């Protein structure tokens, strides 16, 4: 704007300059005309003509003077107006617009606290600034509300996530318990069926076996043939084995009720060891013991002794000469653990899943009842039997029984 005014002023000066040159030209023509008139006309006539020319030149000079005054006045007004516009417009219009632009950049970057302040203006600019500040106020309020709702949503999502995790854990735990109960129910039904079958078979077999045993003993007493006597002895041994199986069938089908008394685990283990020491020596098996349990527990000591005895016999039978069977007792988180391990042949993972089932045995002449009965006794005491084994390196059986067992907590 200021440059435009300078151009207009310059153009006006240039016009005055041309007008001045025209005036000089008129004066020159006047001088020449005066000389011509004075040479050819008479003195009176020349006087009047000269006067007329002087009057014209005078009028022309006055017009030029007025033109100079007018032009310089216009130039002065234009310069003053230009200076006012140059310094006033940036202050009144450009600066507020620049502040608005800066505020818009701050809002675009996410800073809603910036406001356009200090604007001394009126009309549209002031209205625009007020509208902009009002808009930012609304945006800031809405942003705070949105942030608050986002925080609430995040908290809700976090709560939902934790709830889902807890729910998932509860579902997994419930599913696991259902599977365990279902498995236990199937096992109970299977044992009940086996028990009924075993009881029936035992009743049918026991009496004939007793009669056969009595008859064979009479025949053995009367015979004088050593070969016959040896054969009868072998048959009687098999009958004893059959009677042991029948006894196991009775026990599997009709387990004895528990007679709980307070006793020490170490005493039970010591009694079981005294019964298998000779068997171990005859097979060249060394027995190690580490009886570190100091607690007492309430159990049916005869049945728990039967469990320990069965585990020791299995370990000795599975271990060859110069092998080792180790028995250990210890306290463990409110339970008593009795562990029996051996350096025998061990068995496969497939056998681990079946070893506690009735009539499943890895021995050539095993009945498959010893571990099944032992496990049933342990479960009756609300305990668990843990098995680990590796083919060719040995096995370990851990019996875990709560040391605060009472009649109300019996499974």
pLDDT of res. 47 = 52
* Closest-CA residue to 374 (of 301, 288, 311): 311
Would you state the pLDDT for residue 145?
A: 87
Answer with the residue of higher pLDDT: 395 or 372. 395
Provide the β-strand partners of residue 394.
Answer: 390
Task: Name, of 12-26, 82-96, 175-189, the range with top average pLDDT.
Answer: 175-189
pLDDT tens digits, residue range 362-382?
676 666 777 888 888 888 888
What gap in Å lies between CA 277 and CA 288, rounded to an integer?
Answer: 11
Tokens of 350: 């497939």
Kindly report, residue by residue over 269-299, the tens digit of the pLDDT.
999 999 889 888 988 999 999 988 888 888 8
Between 117 and 399, the higher pLDDT residue? 399
Q: What pLDDT band is residue 390 in, cutting at 50, 70 and 90?
A: confident
CA-atom Rg of the chain in angstroms = 62
Give residue for tokens 């026991």.
206
CATH number of 258-409: 3.30.565.10
User: Does pLDDT of 48 surpass 60?
Assistant: no
Of the chain, the percentage scoring pLDDT greater than 90 comes to 8
Whole-angstrom Cα distance, residue 194 to residue 202?
A: 12
pLDDT at 19: 63
Check residue 399 and give its pLDDT. Answer: 92
* Host H or E run for residue 98: helix 95-108
Comparison of pLDDT for 378 and 246, the residue scoring more: 378
The DSSP symbol for 258 reads: P
pLDDT band at 43 (very low <50, low <70, confident <90, very high): very low
Q: What is the mean pLDDT of residues 167-193?
A: 77
Instruction: In whole angstroms, give the CA distance from residue 200 to residue 213.
Output: 20
Mean of the per-residue pLDDT values of the chain: 76
Say yes or no to pLDDT of 147 above 70: yes
Q: Provide the percentage of residues in the chain whose pLDDT is more than 70.
A: 65
Q: For position 106, what pLDDT does the model report?
A: 76
pLDDT at residue number 16: 64
Cα separation, 144 vs 154, whole angstroms? 15
More confident position, 312 or 235: 312
pLDDT for position 267: 92
- pLDDT band of 42, cuts 50, 70, 90: very low
Which residue's entry shows tokens 């009842």?
369
Q: Is the pLDDT of residue 313 over 60?
A: yes
Spatial separation of the C-alpha atoms in residues 201 and 248, rounded to whole Å: 12
User: So what's the pLDDT on residue 80?
Assistant: 78
What local confidence, expressed as pLDDT, does residue 329 receive?
A: 92
Token pair of 258 as six digits: 């528990």
pLDDT above 70: residue 253: no
According to DSSP, the residues that pair with 291 across neighbouring strands are 329
The CA distance from 371 to 396, in Å, is 13
pLDDT of residue 301: 87
At 2 the pLDDT is 54
> Residue 189: what pLDDT?
65
CB 327 within 8 A of CB 340: yes
The predicted-structure confidence for 105-121, as pLDDT tens digits, reads as follows: 777 777 766 676 655 55
């Amino acid at each position: 704007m200021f440059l435009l005014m300078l151009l207009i002023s310059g153009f006006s000066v240039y016009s005055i300059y041309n007008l001045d040159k025209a005036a000089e030209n008129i004066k020159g023509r006047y001088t020449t005309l005066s000389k011509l008139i004075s040479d050819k006309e008479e003195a009176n006539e020349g006087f009047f003509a000269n006067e007329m020319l002087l009057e014209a030149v005078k009028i022309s000079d006055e017009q030029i003077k007025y033109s100079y005054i007018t032009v310089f006045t216009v130039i002065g007004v234009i310069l003053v107006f230009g200076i006012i516009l140059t310094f006033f417009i940036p202050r009144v219009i450009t600066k507020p617009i620049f502040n608005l632009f800066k505020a818009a950049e701050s809002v675009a970057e996410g800073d809603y606290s910036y406001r356009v302040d200090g604007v001394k203006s009126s009309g549209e600019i002031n209205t625009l600034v007020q509208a902009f500040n009002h808009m930012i106020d609304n945006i800031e309020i809405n942003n705070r509300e949105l942030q608050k709702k986002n925080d609430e949503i995040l908290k809700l999502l976090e709560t939902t996530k934790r709830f889902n995790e807890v729910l998932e854990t509860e579902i997994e735990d419930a599913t696991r318990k259902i599977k365990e109960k279902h498995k236990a129910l199937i096992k109970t039904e299977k044992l009940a069926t086996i028990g009924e079958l075993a009881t029936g078979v035992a009743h049918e077999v026991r009496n004939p076996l007793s009669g056969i045993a009595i008859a064979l003993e009479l025949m053995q007493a009367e015979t004088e043939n050593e070969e016959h006597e040896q054969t009868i002895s072998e048959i009687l041994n098999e009958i004893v084995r059959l009677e042991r199986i029948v006894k196991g069938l009775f026990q599997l089908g009709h387990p004895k009720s528990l007679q709980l008394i307070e006793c020490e685990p170490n005493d039970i283990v010591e009694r079981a060891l005294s019964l298998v020491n000779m068997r171990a020596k005859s097979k060249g098996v060394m027995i190690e013991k580490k009886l570190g349990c100091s607690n007492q527990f309430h159990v049916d000591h005869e049945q728990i002794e039967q469990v320990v005895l069965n585990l020791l016999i299995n370990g000795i039978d599975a271990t060859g000469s110069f092998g080792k069977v180790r028995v250990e007792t210890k306290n463990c988180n409110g339970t008593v653990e009795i562990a029996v391990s051996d350096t025998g042949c061990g068995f496969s993972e497939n056998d681990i899943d079946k070893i506690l089932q009735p009539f499943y045995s890895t021995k050539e002449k095993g009945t498959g009842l010893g571990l099944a009965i032992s496990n049933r006794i342990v479960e009756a005491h609300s305990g668990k039997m843990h098995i680990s084994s590796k083919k060719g390196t040995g096995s370990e059986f851990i019996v875990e029984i709560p040391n605060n067992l009472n009649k109300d907590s019996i499974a």
